[in-house]
Structure 1
Amino acid sequence: MADQGSEDIARVIAGAKRRGGRGWLLALLLLGLGLSGWLWVGRSAETGGTVYVTEPVVRGDLTATVTATGTVQPTTEVEVSSELSGTLLSVDVDYNDEVTVGQVLARLDDTKLRAQVANAEAALAAARAQLAQAEATQREAEELYETQAELQKRGVVKHSDFVTYEANRDRARAAVEAAQASLTLAEANLALQRTDLEKTAIRSPIAGVVLNRDVSAGQIVAASLSAPTLFTLAEDLRRMQLLVDIDEADIGEIAVGNAARFTVDAYSGRSFPATITQIRYAPETTDDVVTYKGVLAVDNADLTLRPGMTATATIVVTEEKGVLQVSNAALRYAPPQMVESAGGGAGGLVGLIMPAPPGSGSSSAASGKTVWVLRDGTPVEVQVTPGATDGKYTVIAAGDLAEGDQVITDQRDAAK
Structure 2
Amino acid sequence: MHQPATSPPAAKPIEPGAPKPAVALPRRRKSRRRRYILIGIGALLLLWIVGAIIASKREKPIPVITEKATKRTIVQLVSATGKVQPETEVKISPEVAGEIIELPVIDGAEVKKGDLLVKVKPDTYKALLEQQEAAISSAKATNLQQKATMMKTEQDLKRADDMYAKKTISIQEYNTAQAAYDVAKNTYESSLHEIERAQAGSSQARDQLSKTTIYSPIDGTVTLLNSKLGERVVATNQFAGTEVMRVADLSHMEARVDVNENDVVNVKVGDKASVKVDAYGDRKFHGTVYQIANTGTTTGAGTQEEVTNFQVKIRIDDHDVLLRPGLSCTADIETDVVKDVVAVPMQAVTIRTGDSNL
Q: Which residue of 2 aligns with 1:312?
A: 330
Structure number having the greater strand percentage: 1
Aligned residue among 239, 245, 265 for 2:258: 245
- Bigger Cα displacement from structure 2, 62-71 vs 287-296: 287-296
Letter in 2 for 1:277: Y
TM-score by length of 1: 0.63
Q: Which residue of 1 aligns with 2:247?
A: 233
Asked if the contact 2:82–2:329 (Cα under 8 Å) also holds between the matched residues in 1, the reply is yes
Residues in 1 aligned to 2:173 and 2:308: alpha-carbon distance in whole angstroms: 90
Which structure is larger by alpha-carbon Rg, 1 or 2? 2
Deviations 1:42-68 (A, max 9, x none): xxxxxxxxxx97432212322222222
Matched, 1:271 2:281: no
Question: Cα gap change, 1:268/1:148 in structure 2, threshold over 3 Å: closer, same or farther?
Answer: same
Question: Cα gap change, 1:186/1:316 in structure 2, threshold over 3 Å: closer, same or farther?
Answer: same
Question: Cα gap change, 1:56/1:301 in structure 2, threshold over 3 Å: closer, same or farther?
Answer: closer
Query: Unmatched 5+ residue regions in structure 1?
Result: 1-51, 338-361, 365-416
User: 1:266 is paired with a residue of what secondary structure?
Assistant: helix
Matched, 1:168 2:180: yes
- Bigger Cα displacement from structure 2, 166-175 vs 204-213: 204-213
Please list every run of at least 4 consecutive aligned residues from structure 1 whose deviation after the TM superposition is greater than 6 angstroms: none
Matched, 1:323 2:341: yes
Question: Cα gap change, 1:111/1:248 in structure 2, threshold over 3 Å: closer, same or farther?
Answer: closer
For residue 301 of structure 1, report the CA deviation from its aligned partner: 3.3
Matched, 1:177 2:189: yes
Question: Cα gap change, 1:158/1:84 in structure 2, threshold over 3 Å: closer, same or farther?
Answer: same
Residues in 2 aligned to 1:336 and 1:53: alpha-carbon distance in whole angstroms: 22
Deviations 1:297-336 (A, max 9, x none): 1235345211111112121122112111123234316599
Matched, 1:111 2:123: yes
Asked if the contact 1:240–1:300 (Cα under 8 Å) also holds between the matched residues in 2, the reply is no
Residues in 1 aligned to 2:137 and 2:306: alpha-carbon distance in whole angstroms: 68
Question: Cα gap change, 1:79/1:194 in structure 2, threshold over 3 Å: closer, same or farther?
Answer: same
Asked if the contact 2:72–2:339 (Cα under 8 Å) also holds between the matched residues in 1, the reply is yes
Asked if the contact 1:90–1:216 (Cα under 8 Å) also holds between the matched residues in 2, the reply is no
Question: Cα gap change, 1:335/1:93 in structure 2, threshold over 3 Å: closer, same or farther?
Answer: closer
For residue 186 of structure 1, report the CA deviation from its aligned partner: 1.3
User: 2:265 is paired with a residue of what secondary structure?
Assistant: helix
Q: Which residue of 2 aligns with 1:293?
A: 311
Letter in 1 for 2:315: A
Letter in 1 for 2:313: V
User: 1:120 is paired with a residue of what secondary structure?
Assistant: helix
Residues in 2 aligned to 1:335 and 1:147: alpha-carbon distance in whole angstroms: 117
- Bigger Cα displacement from structure 2, 295-304 vs 305-314: 295-304
Residues in 2 aligned to 1:248 and 1:174: alpha-carbon distance in whole angstroms: 68
Matched, 1:59 2:59: no
Asked if the contact 2:150–2:184 (Cα under 8 Å) also holds between the matched residues in 1, the reply is yes
Q: Which residue of 1 aligns with 2:82?
A: 70
Residues in 2 aligned to 1:303 and 1:136: alpha-carbon distance in whole angstroms: 75
Residues in 2 aligned to 1:149 and 1:312: alpha-carbon distance in whole angstroms: 92
Residues in 2 aligned to 1:270 and 1:53: alpha-carbon distance in whole angstroms: 30
Q: Which residue of 1 aligns with 2:198?
A: 186
Residues in 2 aligned to 1:117 and 1:299: alpha-carbon distance in whole angstroms: 50
Question: Cα gap change, 1:54/1:225 in structure 2, threshold over 3 Å: closer, same or farther?
Answer: closer
Asked if the contact 2:286–2:318 (Cα under 8 Å) also holds between the matched residues in 1, the reply is no
Q: Which residue of 1 aligns with 2:271?
A: 258
Q: Which residue of 2 aligns with 1:4?
A: none
Q: Which residue of 2 aligns with 1:126?
A: 138
Equivalent residues in 2 for 1:84-99, closer than 5 Å: 84-99=96-111
